[in-house]
Amino acid sequence: MDETLDGVIIGSGHNSLACAVHLAANGWKVGVFERAATPGGAVKTGEYTLPGYRHDWAAMNLSLFAGSGFCKEHGDELRSNGLEFAPASDCFSSVFPDGSWLGVSNDLETTAGRIEAISPEDGKVWRELTREFPATAEALVGLLSSPAKKRAFAYILYKKWRQSGTAGVLDLGRFLLSSPRDWLNETFESPKVRALLGAWGMHLDFAPDISGGALFPYLEGMANQAFGMVLGKGGAGTATSAMMSTLEARGGTVTCDAEVTRIIVENGEAKGIELADGRKIMASKAVIANVAPKALLKLAGETGNTHYDDGLRKFSHAPGTMMMHLAVDALPDWRAGDELKKFAYVHLAPEIDQMARTYAQAQAGLLPDEPIIVCGQPTAIDASRAPEGKHVLWLQIRMAPGNIRGDAANKITATDWETAAEPFAERALDIVERYAPGTRSKILKSHIVTPAMMEADNPNLVGGDQICGSHHLTQHFMFRPVRGHADGSTPVGNLFHTGAAVWPGAGTGAGPGYLLARKLAG
């Protein structure tokens, strides 16, 4: 006999789990079905190198989760089910070829002092931005946490107009359309300050010259200055395990090794799902799919709405990322100084032009000659992730093509990731060695995760795209994933879409899942 639930959710990423928790808290009987053996999607932690060394598979920074509307509403219950954070006061930094560095800590005098040592004028600007941030953040955070409805956006702009007049609204609009380079060049005179902040655009598919990308370097810089950064105690997987325990305590379930092969649609309405083993799970209220847009079309079939179906088919993905998980004897000996050992992130992205070149090379299918390296040092913040005195490093190599057409340096001949992984990883380690000599000798064991492996583990990460789709303006805000459906609705009755492919997009804030759950259950 087929099982019937109120809500059936495909995929166990953090948006699915947040959605499930909120629905269960509102009386729904919910089941989450995951094709992989381990839940969590991109937000999970495991011993990928040696026993006792805990690595975050993809996402490491839980600041958005900690500050999310979902966590504010359900945080007490999540904490009672094991959620623990590890706050970082020394948040992110960049190192430069001349042996210098620059970093943002959540003490204003400390950060401003570092910037003033390079550029007194930029130090002054930093202080001004920090003073203005609470008022600016009200509009920006309100925008990013609102349902993707014209009425909601209009209300936020109306509040901004009441606060700062027409000029303020126009300035906000211009800022939202600006590229990272535009805003950074207008705001700061030092190339090092520009590079420090510009590196954040690369986390979210905003190379320096992509319109609409200025928002993210600004928000990361100001939010880390104001609040610091938040990691998960013991790993980012603390968020996943706490949500699972909370869901189960409310009668919900998470079933792994349960691949969904079909969404059952009858007379224009989703009725349930069919699993690879032939089981059918029916849904009386909603089928919720946390899948990439093209996958949704494959599971549910053509909806008959040409605008929607074509939009899913044409949905574009960002370049990929290669991960390296390292168990190490000690943290890197940064040439710029031991103070860098305190930082959660060290960016090896010294120039805006280099970032633009790297992105263009990856977009062209080339292995970049000088990829951007994000060196995460989580054990500098949370020693529980490794045996006493030991550490883990979390290396993101950005950007990396999902399908390799060649090598920008003309040194790697392989065009498949199975063969190209090792030489590309060595290229990344060469860059690390340049800034932290001797790092290779500290490695006890490494685990490389190629873009192909990322997608094999989680099909939402197409070509290793960790953000499940480009966030460029034509595919963001009310256009994510398709105009008219940024609220998770679909042309099929009782079928809803969530995850990073849906507004407000990627990040650990669980916005797509939480907003959809509120829409469905209040």
Distance separating alpha carbons of residues 388 and 391, to the nearest angstrom: 8
Cβ atoms of 229 and 111 within 8 Å: the answer is: no
Per-residue CA distances from 88 to 70, 106, 293, 396 (Å):
21, 9, 35, 19
If residue 224 lies in a helix (H) or strand (E), which one and from where to where?
Answer: helix 215-227
The per-residue pLDDT for 1 is 43
How remote is the C-alpha of 295 from its chain's centroid?
20
In the block, tokens 């800590």 appear at: 105
How remote is the C-alpha of 330 from its chain's centroid?
27
Q: Which residues partner with 366 through β-bridges?
A: 406
Domain boundaries, the chain: 3-86+235-316+464-521, 107-227
What does each of the 522 residues of the chain score in pLDDT, given as a tens digit?
478 999 999 999 999 999 999 999 999 999 999 999 999 999 999 999 999 999 999 999 999 999 999 999 999 999 999 999 999 999 999 999 999 999 999 999 999 999 999 999 999 999 999 999 998 887 777 777 778 666 555 545 556 666 677 776 677 778 888 999 999 999 999 999 999 999 999 998 999 999 999 999 999 999 999 999 999 999 999 999 999 999 999 999 999 999 999 999 999 999 999 999 999 999 999 999 999 999 999 999 999 999 999 999 999 999 999 999 999 999 999 999 999 999 999 999 999 999 999 999 999 999 999 999 999 999 999 999 999 999 999 999 999 999 999 999 999 999 999 999 999 999 999 999 999 999 999 999 999 999 999 999 999 999 999 999 999 999 998 999 999 999 999 999 999 999 999 999 999 999 999 999 999 997
Pick the CATH number of 3-86+235-316+464-521 from 3.30.70.360, 3.50.50.60, 2.70.98.10, 3.30.9.10: 3.50.50.60
- Which pair of structure tokens corresponds to residue 78? 């999540």
Q: DSSP class of residue 199?
A: G
3-state helix, strand, coil in the chain (%, to 5): 45, 20, 35
Distance separating alpha carbons of residues 367 and 208, to the nearest angstrom: 19
- Angle between helical axes of 191-198 and 215-227 (0-180°, round to 10): 90
Pairing type for strands 366-367 and 406-407 reads parallel
Q: DSSP class of residue 433?
A: H
Distance separating alpha carbons of residues 467 and 501, to the nearest angstrom: 8
